[in-house]
Structure 1
Amino acid sequence: MAEKDAKSPNAFVETVKTVVYALLIAGVFRTLFFQPFWIPSGSMKETLLVGDFLFVNKVAYGYSYASCPSLYMPRFGIDVDAQDICGFLDGENTRIWGGEPERGDVVVFRHPVSGRDYIKRLIGKPGDTIQMRDGVLWLNGAEVPQEPDGTFVEEMAPQGPEGRRPRCMNGPVGDGGECRKARAIETLPGGRQYAVLDIASQGSDRTSIYTVPEGHYFFIGDNRDNSADSRLSQRVQGVGFVPYENLIGRADRIMFSSAGRSMLFVWTWRGDRFFKAVE
């Protein structure tokens, strides 16, 4: 009995060491290689749906202070920001082993003011001019072609942990009804194609001309009428121009997707989105 008691403290210490090592390895992996990201809103439909779970490729663009992980769990009073951990690297708008993002990439970035993680499509690079004219994107003075491609249909119901209901072109729609949005295929210079959605005519469909400053990027959501992005200034809860150092990584592939309020509800997982590439 005495021999067993003598070994117990050692066993406990070994268990604690194992847990600590596992957390350190996970922290290094998340900081340097891939960061998990859970899609909370519908701003990137249909490319990304509420409840999609993916890993963000951090190697693609190199590293900056924004590469350090943030942990925001207001329900538990947890708010650890990348600025708190790696703020000493902030301020030069540079990156270590920096890579150049490509137009059309779906990018996770740090909001320039709030510090929260956003995910949008990169449309404008430094020196580009951007304008929306009647819902159509113009890039460097040329219209970006859109080809109408039917209708995006989803059920009118609360979506994700926040329980938000989608906006509909055919609204108002009661719970359980079909919520529709006009769908088109947009083609960027170079041939990158993806689906964009349209709900109604609104202010963000008609903008002034934006000129992207050096060291910054311009982002727009694919769900064009339901996205707070670079078309809105930071003063009105938009994103504005995003500095190079605020890029976190590129979204390449969806691991799985949950249509329910939690990713733990496996019976709500969408069978057609496992390991789906992000176009």
Structure 2
Amino acid sequence: MAKADKDEGGWGKLIRDVVVIVLLVLGIHSCVAKPFYIPSDSMMPGLRNGDRLVVSKYPYGWSYASVSFHLAPKMAGRLFGKLPARGDIVVLEHPVTRVDYIKRVIGLPGDTIELKGGALFINGKPVKREVQPMLSIPVDANLPGPDSSLGRFIVKDAAGKEVLELPIVRETLPGGATFDTIDMGPGYQTDDYGPIKIPADHLFLMGDNRDGSADSRVSVQQKGLGGPVPFDAIAGRAEIISFSTDGTAIWYNPVSWFEALRPGRAGTNLRPEHDKGAK
């Protein structure tokens, strides 16, 4: 009898330990930080398909979207809520499908957003745009990503290797946040939009790959966000790239895990730079 009691105690302790560990992981994921995988090219050039990020959960307070694995029922309200800044990269739950998206905050509550021929206007004023030199990025198994619109920019470099030669435009938002975008030229559906005034407690989100992003400019039927997004849908802020892989890793070959790492990506800070002279 004593042995049976001991065995039951052992199993009971194991179950309790497993439950505690699961709750601890869920708590950290939901309240502090969680990993995030970039599955597309919508945030190119800064974020690439295959990047792994650390997303902090506390900068904007907590809502139903903060709870990992979409376990919480949707409800209004945010604990210790603080609006993002223009230029922040945020992870959110799609307001309808509850699928995770990652986009950049472009407009805040009360802002009027408009695009004309691909040029962004905020509150009637054009956002500063500066054309940059073409950006060359090596093509690999993860890049371009699935369903990407960037395939037409693949060329061969002097060594005969395939690279993406991307047209880059640097934007500077009101407040000074500055970052690079891809502008593939005229003729895209998302080049002209609005004007639209952002309602209270909503945000206007866009991808940096401006002509290849299903964001606030795109209808839900086309897998977009269908307009400004409720602040409560924001789950956290993208902080840093932890590591990035080129898509060649084989799960049963640990050596390939290291060979697939992209050099120079780990440790990249995802907070936007700021132009101190901008207003």
Q: Using structure 1 for the length normalisation, give the TM-score.
A: 0.83
Instruction: Describe the SS at the equivalent of 1:208.
Output: strand
4+ long deviations beyond 6 Å: 3-6
Distance in 2 (alpha carbons) for counterparts of 1:207 and 1:61: 28
Q: Which runs of 5+ in 2 are unaligned?
A: 252-256, 273-279
Q: How does 1:69-84 map to 2 (within 5 A)?
A: 69-70=68-69, 82=70
CA distance in 2, matches of 1:245, 1:6: 49
Whether 2:47 is the aligned partner of 1:102: answer: no
The answer to whether 1:232 aligns with 2:218 is yes
Relative distance call for 1:263 and 1:116 in structure 2 (3 A) is farther
- Distance verdict in 2 for CA 1:125–1:116, change over 3 Å: same
For 2:178, the aligned partner's letter is Q
Name the counterpart of 2:200. 214
CA contact (8 A) 1:158 1:165 kept: no
After superposition, the Cα gap between the structure-2 partners of 1:149 and 1:272, relative to the gap in structure 1 and judged at 3 Å, is same
1:235-261 CA-to-partner distances (Å, cap 9, x unmatched) read 432112100110101111111111225
- Aligned ranges for residues 160-175 of structure 1 at < 5 Å? 163=146, 167-168=150-151, 170=153
- 1:164–1:233 distance in 2 versus 1, CA, 3 Å: closer
Q: After TM superposition, give the deviation of residue 35 of structure 1 in Å.
A: 2.1
The equivalent of 2:131 in structure 1 is 148
State the identity as a percent: 34
Q: Give the RMSD, CA atoms, in angstroms.
A: 2.7
Q: 1:277 aligns with which of 266, 269, 277?
A: 269
* Aligned-partner Cα distance in 1 for 2:134–2:168: 5
Alignment partner, residue 244 of structure 1: 231
Task: Return 152-161 or 4-13, whichever deviates more.
Answer: 4-13
**Secondary structure at the residue paired with 1:20?**
helix
Query: Is the CA contact (8 Å cut-off) linking 2:172 and 2:179 kept in structure 1?
Result: yes
Unaligned runs of 5+ in 1: 71-81
* Residues paired across the two proteins, number: 260
Is the CA contact (8 Å cut-off) linking 1:124 and 1:212 kept in structure 2? Answer: yes
SS at match of 1:245: helix
Aligned to 1:178: 163
- Indicate the larger mover: 221-230 or 207-216: 207-216
Alignment CA distance shift 1:237-1:20 (3 Å): same
Note if 1:260 corresponds to 2:242: no
Task: Give, in angstroms, the shift of residue 167 of structure 1.
Answer: 1.2
**CA contact 2:198–2:204 (8 Å) conserved in 1:** yes
The answer (yes or no) to whether the contact 1:169–1:200 under 8 Å persists in 2 is: no
Q: How many angstroms apart in 1 are the aligned matches of 2:3 and 2:45?
A: 59
Determine the C-alpha separation between the residues in 1 that align with 2:99 and 2:10: 41
Cα offsets for 1:16-51 (capped at 9, x unmatched): 433322111101111111122111111111211111
- Alignment of 1:26 with 2:62, yes or no, is no
Kindly provide the amino acid, as one letter, of the partner of residue 92 in structure 2.
F
**Greater mean alpha carbon deviation, residues 233-242 or residues 192-201:** 233-242
